[in-house]
Structure 1
Amino acid sequence: MGCCFSAPLKIKAESPPRNGLNSNDGSKEENDPSGLSGKVSSSSMLLTPQSEDEILEATNLKNFAFNELRTATRNFRPDSMVGEGGFGSVFKGWIDEHTLAPTKAGTGMVIAVKRLNQESNQGHTEWLTEINYLGQLSHPNLVKLIGYSLEDDHRILVYEFVAKGSLDNHLFRRASYIQPLSWNIRMKIALDAAKGLAFLHSDEVDVIFRDFKTSNILLDPNYNAKLSDFGLAKNGPQGDKSHVSTRVMGTFGYAAPEYIATGHLTKRSDIYSFGVVLLELMSGKRALDDNRPSGEHNLVEWAKPLLINKHKISQVMDARIEGQYSKREAKRIAHLAIQCLSTEQKVRPNIEDVVRSLEHLQDSNHTQINGHSSTSNSTPISSLSPSPLRT
């Protein structure tokens, strides 16, 4: 894995008062087995700020003036807004690919501009965390952060624009004119996302993502998947410690049971979340949905008893993609999901094993995706562009 070293500068960012946050609304607090190249700014570990109010200004991030981003988004016009949430709003903008100066709409490089709501206390710590992690990390399966703006009360993040948006939107939207994601695309997305996690979990990076879910997986025009939203990320346990003790934050339905019960966070917590997303890819159903029949509200609780019976796996699979996979493939994915979703975290596979299992499933065969050839061992990185993050 390639590395680059830089001596970051520290910037003080005044923090507004913090609200107590909880996990039930998705609010937030605070060796590459794939063969894909990745970079981290330190040769041995991620550099961390000395306080939660410091930005590590990596040399590859641009500190934008607020007026530059106002021009790039046409003054944050409502018709430029492409997303909205608790953090604030996300706007589409345009900048010059080389100088990063704002350009006329429709020219240059498309960007996603995520603007923290000035009237909300939510998001300041996440804003800093996002900068301090993505400012040091680079990988084809992580969304690319271009820069940020810290001017007066304005706190803004600037990303490449990922054209197809989140996996959540593609997997769960229901309309007659929407084609469901094919089995091959779903398995490609699972493998790409696993490779992103493998990079984060590697000894060199040693980061726990802590909020792995479908809305934090973005898709480019070729359905290459990129992990986004690093506001909850944490460094892995240090020394001889087995876990990181932290406030329980994240999203119900995805968080590992032992983490919810104890606040003890490990990389295996991410593996559980991966298992939930794998189950969502298999079934086309959300992790939690009160609109489903009684007994089916919680996808994991409903599906696990079915997955352990090879004759009932078909009851879990998305009926819209029936016939696109073999019984053997369904059994293998079901087995992998069960392993990832084990209530005993030590039984869960590590992410390198998950990557190998998914690569073996694809059997290194070329798959045609919307006219583009893709293999299980490579992720095309032409046309990298990122979409608005779900806020």
Structure 2
Amino acid sequence: WLRETDRRWRDGDLGSVDPQAWRSLDARLKAVLAPLRDALSATRDQARARRLALIEEATALAAKALERDAPAQVKVIQAQWQSQAKGLLLPQRDERALWEQFRAACDAVFQAREAKRQQEDVLKHEARSALENICVQLEQLALATDNNEQDLRRGLRDLQQQWTRGARTSDSALRRLESRFKNAKMAMEAALSARARARETEVWRTLAAKERLCEELDRRLCSGEGTADAAAAHAQWAALTALPAAWEKAMVGRRDAALRALADEAVAAAHVMRIERGVESRGEILLELELRLGLECPLELQAQRRALQLKQLRERFQGPATSGANSAGEQLLAWCAQPGVADARDRQRCERVFLAMEQAR
């Protein structure tokens, strides 16, 4: 209205008056409009102050840009700005300058959130790539059949630790890798278990082979077939895999005792007597192994088996300190390390025991 009044006063068709009258009328108009101009200026100052307050509020939000409700707060401030702009429009130059400041402050909030989102995306991608690499390494490790078992176990342990450190995230994409890691880990553990089973199987088969070599020496001695070729016996022995140290020592002791007896008649008699005295104890060990492994025993030995069961029950009631039971492996080693010659029946029983030990897990 003031602009229109000024335009009509100066450029309108109000007619012309002499200069002195113009000055008088112009002064009167200015005096009349002065309070209105002052009121408008004050109102604009207040509107400008409110705009500046909104700019400060939006600028302050930049420090809290990552909070969940920051976008909602920006929208509230923007709505207030629009409401104020509709209520009173400032001079175009002022309005434009203030709007640019306000828009920059609001944009700073969203730019900070976008930068954070991009940073999180980069970190998630790096974490996902690292975990995928762990899965690849673990899958390759499971296929590394030529590697030393200790190296494989160390590698599995290291990769498990790396996974634990890297998987501490709620990213659903990373969680989906868990099944791949678990499958790779299961494959690795299965490979290690297969190695352990193969190693155990090899132990039992080697023990059986060395026991048969020793028994052949004892058989030659008991049958009076004469001396044995010690060099050939040692060569056959060396062709077999070495047993665990304590077991190897026990079996070497039986072998060497038989070789000495075959080479010396004076020693031979004592060795044969030792074999004869050990028949009963070897039979008891074999019966205990069958009972322990859940194997059937010959019908003619059922009474002895029941007696053995009763004996073991009594020992169990007496307490673990008096039972002194060894493991099945230790019992089998004791049977193998003791000199003797098994008949056909006991040889079959012994082979069933070895097979059961191979299959036991």
Instruction: Name whichever structure is richer in strand by fraction.
Output: 1
Q: Same fold (TM over 0.5)?
A: no
| Structure of greater Rg | 2
Instruction: Name whichever structure is richer in helix by fraction.
Output: 2
Q: TM-score, normalised by structure 2?
A: 0.21
* Structure with bigger RCO (C-alpha 8 Å, 6+ apart): 1
Q: TM-score, normalised by structure 1?
A: 0.20
